[in-house]
Structure 1
Amino acid sequence: MRAFFVLIGGLWIITSSRSIAQESSYLKVQTNRLQKAQQAEQDARAKGDSSLLAEAYYLYGKTYSFTGDYQNAHRYFIKSLRILEPKGFSEELSRLYYRLSNIEIKQGHLKEAVRYGRYAVHIAQVLKSDTAISRASIGMGQAYANIWTSQRPQSRIPYDSSLFFYREAEAACRRLKDSVGVADVYSALGELLAIARKPQAATYLEKALALFRIKKKEDILLKVTPQLAGVYLDNGQLDQAWQLLSEAEKHYTSRNLHDYDTQISIDLQLVRYYEKTGQWKLAYERLQQVQSLQSYAFQADHQGAITRLNVEYETEKKEALLKTQNRELTLRAENLQSQRRFTFTLLLLLGLVTGMSLVFFRLYRRNQRISRRNEALVKEQNHRVKNNLQVVASLLNLQAKRLSDETAKKAVEESRLRIQSMAIVHRRLYDGDELAQVDLEEFVRELVQGVLKTFGYPTLEPHLTIDALSLTVDKAVPLGLILNELITNACKYAFPASSTPQLWIRCRQQGTQLEWVVADNGPGFDKAETSFWDDGVVVQRTSFGMALIDAQVAQLSGTYSFSLGESGRGTRFSMVFKLY
């Protein structure tokens, strides 16, 4: 019985194909799609925009391809191609070649499908567009899958090629985080693996179906459902297949889609289901419906209409190429004459530039000599300033030794330390490679050690955390005076009250600002000489040292504050100022 049915069905298809010229049937064009294309064409002509007109032609072609009217679809795609191709590579051009490849696949013209598909992939790769790459790679994968289907089992290479392009499409979709695109790839992979009788086919199709349901892509979901039903039929899962097919046909009819590919896919799987369940009459009726839908596409191919369109388009391209070549020959002759004039002018300019280069070279050598002389002068100036400051410090030291009044002696000693801090800046300028920059860490370390040694703490190791950077003289001198006052105060008031004196100095750059923290572990401030703001402590002393700190911070255009240490003991000084 089954063999008889297959034979009758085959004879019916052959007989019907002979009468195609008399009878052709294809799906009705969806009104909303056609109106969208017509509106796009009207807007494009009103604005005189060729790119919009190309998009309108693309929409026409896409509308007719859904109904299976490949002749009209191809005609509109070619019209769009004539506009877009001279404009150069674009995502729209890659998309157009993908559509042309797709309709060639539907008609079995696999060589042409691969040719168009390669154009689409090449343009997408040149543009480095993941959107175009994913679409074009799926198209190439489908073309090679159809080649493999027609050649198997003799050739296995196109099967591997299909997998390669599907993986490329999946990678592009994942870079775009496009779950719908990934579902499209799973659908194509599932269809290929189903033909290859691979057990993973159902898994991929089920994943695709789940993703489409999550994203509520009902129209695309209807394309995957028949594929999965076909796998279930192959595996003998007839009930699951029937459930999917009946739901798909119900949704298709209720949504009034008129989509050629979806209708054909549902009908073919229903034919298989009816055949497997022995419902021969229903299978025969459904097969008649399939043949009726396919007749128009077969007729267009039989009449050679699409082939003629290809020939006409290629002829137009060749004629345009000849015209372009003639224009190029004329332009080359004009360019040759221009190049001769340009070469003569260039030689004159080259001679002029050579002469000017010699002049500039001599000026450069002269400027170098002046720069070296100025560098020596600046270093000599820094050296003399350093020596003068050192002499003043020595004089103050001698004077302090001659004084008997302890208060006066301490005042002179503190003044000597202040001058010593300025002398350190100029010594660093003289000894270093930079003429106007001081290495911050080396400067601070030398200054701190000098003060600690003066007050009898030469073995105390301060905790220094200082970012690697340099300061200009106008920043280094005020900073040195401030640090000198803070460390002097620590040596006089904090360290004697602690059995294990500690000193912390931290400097951190935050953008264009420099943040300083100087802290000790002494007893902190005398409450009689401080006032409290909330939980912090703000110093209100009127000593010369505090006045000096205030003046130097103002010179740095910064802000500062005093507070207790983190453990509630000691003094913590914080300052912020701009580097530049």
Structure 2
Amino acid sequence: MCPRSGVSQKGIFLAPQPHKLLYADTVYREAIAKKDPLLMAEAYYLYGKTYEATGDILLSNKWFYKSLKILEPRGDSRELSRLYLRLFTNAYTQGNYAECMRLTRLGMDMARRLKDYKNLCRAYGNMRSMHERDWSDKGKKPNLPGPRPDSGLYYLQKVVQIGHRTGDSAIIAGISRDLATYKWKSFRDTSHLFENFNVATDYYTLKKEDGELMVTKIDLAQILLDLNRPAAALAHLNEAQKIYDHNPFNVLWLLDRFQSAYSRYYRLTGNWKKAYEMNERAHQLQVSNYTADRDGAISRLGKEYEMEKKDILLKAKDTELALRNRALLAQQRFLVVSFALLIVMAGMSLVFYRLYKRNLLISRQNELLVKEQNHRVKNNLQAVSSLLSLQSSELSDPAALRAIEESRLRVETIGILHRKLYDGQQLAMVFVPDFLEELVTGVINTYGLREVSTDFLIDDIYLSPDQAAHLGLIVNELVTNACKYAFPGIPDPALRLQCNTYRKNNKRHFHLEIADNGPGIQGLYAEMQPVAPKKKVGEVTAAFRQALTMPSPGFGIKLIRMEAEQLYAQFTYYYDRGIVFIMDFPSDPVPNRL
């Protein structure tokens, strides 16, 4: 319903209607039981409506905004559009023009997006009320607009169009009454006046909608008083009074409408005694309203306390459940990491080798089976990587954290390899450019060095899974060392990776070159001295050569040597404005790329 003229916030609140309060309580309890936030938002909305009818705008808005906090983050919905348009009513009563316009626009635009014609009719009704009211207070507030009857009629006509287009009898009945009332108040237009009221009266009588029928009777009585027909007006007022007496209505603006209509009637008929009695009844109403407000304030405080207590209990239960789940997950992670690391890491190399050999001997059907196995291994590796990450979150020792992270990167290298096997166009073959680029990028991102400039010069090369695994572990260690020792503290870190093949003695060889622009060999071994500036590029000093042959101080360098031996590779380091690593090994013959 649109806001009714003549209602003002005077601190006089009626007691809430018991049946509406009971219904709101029922919805609230159901929302608590089901833990349904949307149902909770509906309960808050019903509380807001209930207290809006009492005239308590402050408490009404409090409930409406609790509903708004739930609905707004979820995006467009009919309930949210309805809530914006309901909040308009309280803003209108307070005379807040800017807030009225904002809320109506929000509700109108959302109703249009949702093609919700009922809320769209409510929005047009709100716009009618906006244009009907003198916001400027007869020119005392020049920054606000005065009444604009033609604009209000424009929005009423829009509701008429929706009613005829949809065939909704409720809209047609309501707009018939509102249009007749508006034309009389704004233009003193009596055309189709009583026909329109008859349409509304017949529909509301048929549907037994006593509330709307009562409003229709009061509106018609006001117009009859304007036409100086007090007897006819009294008949409609008495009919409206009977409806009010036989229904649980207790709405502030309705009482205000009755008081206004009866006062006009008695003044028009010159019955000053009755007019005096009406004044006394108005005074008694204010006294009773004050009492209801006092008692209502106490009950409202109790209601809010119970609501807050229930919310606290729910949050406590949710917190307890979350803590239990976290404890259970921590135990599961510990057990899974303990067994998975022992089993998966010990048998990983053997599994890869057998998978590769099997792909050379079995049929197309078995090749599909290998793909499925690769996919499962990839998932297991991802699980191991995730478990290592979770385990690292429980550690505080920097050395342990570094060891866990380096192990995770090695597992991630094998995981990338298997993903490429599964997603690739050739079965049991790895496309080197995609594999190495993803591997290098992943290591750099893990160390948070997104400013590193990378230059990939990789030919279109395929390798077997066995060779790709060894190659990937070597590249992983080299890039990890660069991220740890070369890049920190330099202004423009850069990494270059070059791969190509060449033929030697009628055999195909694979060439790898990785270079960084770090501080040099000092980053790896404190005992070594950098190449003197006068040396040519690529020339190795005696101290440098001796350092390359000495035992590696770290597991990473040992791993590089071990993997190079598996590839029957030859490799070397040299310094050229940074560490350059070069490796060559014989590669397997592979078919052309599909």
TM-score when normalising by structure 1: 0.45
**Structure with the largest fraction of helix:** 1
Question: Over alpha carbons, which structure has the higher Rg?
Answer: 1
TM-score when normalising by structure 2: 0.44
